[in-house]
Chains A and B, each alone.
Chain A
C-alpha cells in the first residue's frame, strides 16, 4: 500500500517552454501533497505544500507564478514549471500524506527535468 506515482520520470525541454509533472496517490487519498526539489548531492528542498481543494503554500524564495501547483483531487497534484530555464534543471519529487490515517508521507519516484 501507500504507492505514489509520478509522470513523467524524465523530461527534456527547451528553454522557455512549460513542463507539467503529475503526482498521483494510487491506493490512498492524499489530503496533503508536498513538492520537493533536489540538486545533485544536496538534500531535499521543500518547494510547496498543497492541500486538496486549497491553494498551495509556497516556501520562502519559491516563485509561485513560476511553479504552479494544482491539487484538484484527493489523488492528483500537478506541478507546472512555467517558462523553464536551465537553472530549473533538477530532480523534482512529490510526496503524499493522508492526514487522517497516519504520520508519514510517501514519496513518488521523482521526475528529472533537463532544460536545454
Chain B
C-alpha cells in the first residue's frame, strides 16, 4: 500500500539555521509528492509539490526534490525564521487518484 514516513519532531532551531525535514514514501506507480504546512490554529496549506522524478518544488525559500531512487522528498530551507514555526506534513497522491496519503507531521519550532 501507499505510505509516507516523516522524521519525528519537534525540530528545534535557532533563527537563520538550516532546516531539513526528512520524508520517505512507499507507493505503487508514480505518485505526486507534496509538502503541506499547518500554522497554529489553522488548516493545512500547500507549500510545494513535485509531480515526477527529479522535479524540484519550491516556495517561500523552501525546497524539496523528488528522488525516485531513494523514494524521498526531503524538505529544506537555508535560513529559517520564527514565522516558519508550524507543523509540516509530507503527502503523496497516486496517479489518477484524488486521495492524499499523509505522514504524521513534523513540528518545527524556531527561536529568535
Whether chains A and B associate is no
Task: State the A residues within 8 Å of B (CB).
Answer: none
